[in-house]
Amino acid sequence: MTEVKKIAKLCGAGMLTGAVNGLFGGGGGMIVVPLLQANGRAPLVAHATAILIILPVCLASAAVYLAGGWFDAELFLAVGLGVLAGGAAGANLLGVISPAAATLVFAAVMFAAGVRMIV
């Protein structure tokens, strides 16, 4: 595959990720990790890159939500503090677990979220 095709494919994956994140208020990482792995990236690289990709996507979505008035400051502060602590812990954990373990945990979380949404 030519370099231009690879870049176009990754840009398409990015557009899909952004659309899912904007539509659902999150969840873009659930899309981007498998797409990056399908494009030959190692699991740990895909997970770490997804975190960096999701930041600007979340900021763009948040700007739209703020402009639309769909924002609860108290909820943001309460959950945001937990997310910061959990994000730091998770990022440190990603550096010490195996790629197979990261993939298994990711799949388990995706499966549990899907079951939860159905039930």
pLDDT for the residue 89: 92
**Spatial distance between the Cα atoms of 48 and 20, rounded to a whole number of angstroms:** 19
pLDDT for the residue 51: 82
Write out the chain's pLDDT in tens, 119 residues: 688 988 898 888 888 887 887 777 667 778 888 888 888 889 888 888 888 887 887 788 888 888 998 888 889 889 889 988 998 898 898 889 898 898 898 889 889 988 988 98
pLDDT for the residue 82: 92
pLDDT for the residue 22: 75
Stated pTM of the model: 0.64
Backbone φ, ψ for residue 57 (5° rounding): -65, -45
pLDDT for the residue 50: 85
pLDDT for the residue 76: 86
